[in-house]
Structure 1
Amino acid sequence: MKKQLLLIPALAALLAVPALHGIRPAHAQGAATPDYQVGDRLAKPAAQPSGSFRTITFDDLMPLDWDPNAVFKQLDMASLKDNDPRAMEMMAKIKQAWENAPLVPQLGGQKIRMAGFLVRLEGDDKHIREFLLVPYFGACIHIPPPPANQVVHVIPDQPVPAGQDMGAVWVSGTLSLAVAKTGLGDAGYRLAAVKVEPYTGD
């Protein structure tokens, strides 16, 4: 069983935001009527094929023997107080560790389908031409990005309507291992997407 990423509690302590208490699963809801809060994840879909694409989750992007919480165990976060100057030092250590998060080589070249939240990289007021796919709402925008192996750089073959920005989507395409450093966060994977559609929970 995958170990849950303790991202939100950790960043809440570091950034002194007591209102954020943890990652919680979101209800299965479409992007047209979003009701997500920072840290919400999408409900885990059934592991069933969709045409020639295999449905995977963000957990599948992490090696089985990798502990995403290892960096936190080395930090004395319990002693932090509001606006503690040590928070920036801890954030730097977390950032360095997560930028070098290991990938799963076996996923390279696979045709996959996965759901996540869309974070625009390039586009205009009508279209999105490149974006990051992240595992929980608010990542890279309201809170710092997750590990690089939890961020997918998506390049769709057709522009996506701008109304999908920060929405929940399904993406289908061919996955590759390719590090992309962007102003919003580092991605460890790239997806050449042939389909991007609103998330409906199935």
Structure 2
Amino acid sequence: MHKRQFISLLGALPAWALAGSAAAPSSNYKVGDKLTPAAPVLVNGIRQLKWDDLIPKNWDPYAAYRGLDLAKMRDGDPRTREAMDKVREAWNNAPVVDDLNGNTVRIPGFMIPMDTNKDEVLAFLLVPYFGACIHTPPPPANQIIDVKAKPAVRGSRMMDTVWVTGKLSTVRSDSPFGTVGYRIAAQHVEPYVKEAERK
């Protein structure tokens, strides 16, 4: 197995590293693309987060790769499966930033609807890059947010880009798409618009 294939199987490649991946027909994004807003840190007194803010400073998401010779790994080799399982376990148990618990925050991301009623989305996962959990395996738990939308979000689809504002909790849970490290009780969900599109 090629090194890039092994890493992409684990979802380790960041948005921009999955060269050659095609975007969904209705999207301007390619698998792995991240949102990079140029907005201030505080918006109306609410702390605006970047996804890196959800990762403890002393935690290295790539530590589980140390000592692995990815170039020598092949499909069907039990050592490859063992290595993948080791990384997945480390990512499922990724620590959260406890100091963020209870803060009202604003963060952009890609939506994975989880609970819907007709054209309303009642709950969804928010992920940092296009295709996470759908076209690639899930990122670390501290890079997935379970969002409870109240009021419900209308007319949204899989991988729509949104800003979410609400109270953040460090609540770990499991979902069909991966282990989740955070939850937001959303007070407001609005479409994310690229800076260039606003002008």
Which TM-score band (shorter chain)?
Answer: 0.7 to 0.9
- Which amino acid counterpart does residue 94 of structure 1 have in structure 2? V
Instruction: Quote the residue 1:192 is aligned against.
Output: 185
Per-residue CA deviation, residues 11-64 of structure 1 (Å, 9 max, x unaligned), is: 732567xxx975329xxxxxxx63111111111433332213211111000011
* Structure 2 counterpart of 1:71, from 64, 68, 80: 64
* Long gaps (5+) in structure 2: 18-25
Residues 124 and 162, structure 1, Cα contact 8 Å, conserved in 2: no
2:5 aligns to what SS in structure 1?
helix
* Structure 1 counterpart of 2:77, from 74, 80, 85: 85
C-alpha separation in 1, matches of 2:155 and 2:81? 34
* Structure 2 counterpart of 1:181, from 155, 168, 174: 174
C-alpha separation in 2, matches of 1:139 and 1:180? 17
- The normalised TM-score by structure 1 is 0.81
* Structure 2 counterpart of 1:156, from 149, 156, 180: 149
Residues 13 and 32, structure 2, Cα contact 8 Å, conserved in 1: no
C-alpha separation in 1, matches of 2:53 and 2:159? 22
C-alpha separation in 2, matches of 1:11 and 1:130? 33
Per-residue CA deviation, residues 71-91 of structure 1 (Å, 9 max, x unaligned), is: 11232212124x343433322
1:141 aligns to what SS in structure 2?
coil
Per-residue CA deviation, residues 99-128 of structure 1 (Å, 9 max, x unaligned), is: 111111110111100001111111144111
| Correspondence 1:201 to 2:194 | yes
Kindly report the root-mean-square deviation, in angstroms, between the aligned alpha carbons of the 2 structures. Answer: 2.4
C-alpha separation in 1, matches of 2:37 and 2:3? 23
Residue 65 and residue 10 in structure 1: after superposition, are their counterparts in 2 closer, same or farther (change >3 A)? farther
**After the TM superposition, which residues 99-110 of structure 1 pair with which residues of structure 2 at under 5 Å, given as runs?**
99-110=92-103
| Correspondence 1:142 to 2:140 | no
C-alpha separation in 2, matches of 1:171 and 1:10? 35
- Which amino acid counterpart does residue 184 of structure 1 have in structure 2? F
* Structure 1 counterpart of 2:114, from 96, 121, 132: 121
**After the TM superposition, which residues 12-91 of structure 1 pair with which residues of structure 2 at under 5 Å, given as runs?**
12-13=5-6, 23-24=15-16, 34-81=27-74, 83-86=75-78, 87-91=80-84
C-alpha separation in 2, matches of 1:21 and 1:106? 27
Identity in percent: 38
Residue 64 and residue 132 in structure 1: after superposition, are their counterparts in 2 closer, same or farther (change >3 A)? same
Residue correspondences, number = 183
C-alpha separation in 2, matches of 1:145 and 1:137? 11
2:16 aligns to what SS in structure 1?
coil
1:24 aligns to what SS in structure 2?
helix
